[in-house]
Amino acid sequence: MPSGPYVPSARRPTFVPWAAVQDGFLHRVAHRGGAEPFVAVAVSDPAAIRTSRAGRLLHAANRGFGGDLYFAARIMATEPEFLVHAIDVYRSSPERRQAIGKADELERLRGEWAGSAA
């Protein structure tokens, strides 16, 4: 079972245990005359974040914007709103975490997300 959000990196990946994930939300940041969407994750215990030294510095800066981790939508392979939905589901429903990565779970998540947007 995946034990928390994991973000690969060339140097050192970032990992946060599910117990420390407080919230996921969409945040729009002013960028080049527009607003670029980011998925932000708020963490209840910043010490629980495992990351590089540079990641810690970035985390400290991000806290001032309301989240601990920020992921630019432009580098995602999915819709940022869908990722926010998935974070919320797995944060609030630990019994579903063992299904992360399975095709039927992805289909279930997508169906729930589409239903909530309608």
DSSP state string for 38-97: EEEEEES-GGG-B--HHHHHHHHHHHTTT-SEEEEGGG-SS-HHHHHHHHHHHHH-GGGG
**How confident is the model over 73-93, as pLDDT tens digits?**
888 899 999 999 999 999 999
Mean pLDDT calculated for residue range 52-73: 83
The fraction of the chain above a pLDDT of 70, given in percent, is 97
What integer pLDDT is reported at residue 48 of this predicted model?
Answer: 93
Q: DSSP assignment, residue 106?
A: H
**How confident is the model over 25-52, as pLDDT tens digits?**
998 877 777 788 889 999 999 899 999 8
What integer pLDDT is reported at residue 13 of this predicted model?
Answer: 86
What integer pLDDT is reported at residue 115 of this predicted model?
Answer: 87
C-alpha to C-alpha distances, 72 to 1, 101, 104, nearest whole angstrom = 26, 21, 27
Model-level pTM? Answer: 0.85
